[in-house]
Amino acid sequence: MIELKTQSDMDAIHENGRVLCSLFDRLETWMEAGMSTWDINQFCEDYITKAGCFPSCKGFEGYPAGTCISINEQVIHGIPHKEKIVRLGDIVSIDIVCDRKGNFFADSTRTYIMGEVPDRTRLLVRTTKECLDLAIEAAAKPGARMNDVSGAVFEHANQNGFGVVRDYCGHGVGFGIHEDPNVPNFVSPFAQNLKLREGLVIAIEPMINMGTHKINTLHDGWTVVTADRKPSAHFEHTIGITKNGVEVLTQM
């Protein structure tokens, strides 16, 4: 069931989304090669807590940390670990949800490039960010439907020769971490092409692979990797559909 939000609800989600945005901006200069993903996770958890929020991934369905940190071929749900070191030449996707007092969840992801990477990898990251921007633009058009959002992601990634993950997708968010509806990154004939109506809050999150769209899950039960072990990038914003158009709730 889709739970629509009031403007007051969206304002509260946006307040938490600003915390995520400021954290991601801070990571641009704070994060360095040689750090462990556990160090990065602790920094993020502390930042969120000091802002009066809670890192919502922690404990969600048994997940052990406040962030998902996925490196290179890891698509999503990489578990932070003291022995997992970020190195020059890596791309690092950090997915974070935060809430305040168990409500008004904001969800966002950013992929960082650590030093010099091949041109094709840099294009992958840039294209994935562009997929997100194009999807938000599509959502803002009068009369927009879910297939407009999904199609914008798929077409741009496909034009650049990249694989679009099909097994995971964006989702409703706000009163919980994952809500209805699903927000696919490709147009499926079996998906409900619902109209984006006022009060809808969704997380749009392109997950784009260098090669195949196919994925595997590692033995830890969480970490999702590309089937061909080529790199993957991930960007995400939470947006709200208002009477005045689209509001991006995870930017300042």
Query: Alpha-carbon distance 179 to 117, whole Å?
Result: 36
Give the amino acid at 131: C
* Cα Rg of the chain (Å, integer): 17
DSSP H helices, the chain, are 7-30, 37-50, 119-139, 146-159
Give Cβ neighbours of residue 220 (< 8 Å, ≥ 6 apart): 79
Contact between residue 96 and residue 37 where contact means Cβ atoms under 8 Å apart: no
Each of the 252 residues of the chain gets a pLDDT tens digit; together they read 999 999 999 999 999 999 999 999 999 999 999 999 999 999 999 999 999 999 999 999 999 999 999 999 999 999 999 999 999 999 999 999 999 989 999 999 999 999 999 999 999 999 999 999 999 999 999 999 999 999 999 999 999 999 999 999 999 999 999 999 999 999 988 878 999 999 999 999 999 999 999 999 999 999 999 999 999 999 999 999 999 999 999 999
Query: Alpha-carbon distance 112 to 114, whole Å?
Result: 6
What residue ranges define each of the domains in the chain, with the CATH number in brackets?
Answer: 7-248 (3.90.230.10)
- For residue 79, give the DSSP letter: P
Q: Could you tell me which residues are beta bridge partners of residue 198?
A: none
Prior bond of 181 cis (ω within 30°): yes
Place of tokens 């041109």: 119
Give Cβ neighbours of residue 226 (< 8 Å, ≥ 6 apart): 73, 75, 163, 209, 210, 211, 212, 214, 215, 216, 232
Query: Alpha-carbon distance 66 to 70, whole Å?
Result: 13
Give Cβ neighbours of residue 36 (< 8 Å, ≥ 6 apart): 80, 81, 82, 83, 84, 85, 86
Tokens of 228: 């061909």
Place of tokens 């058009």: 141
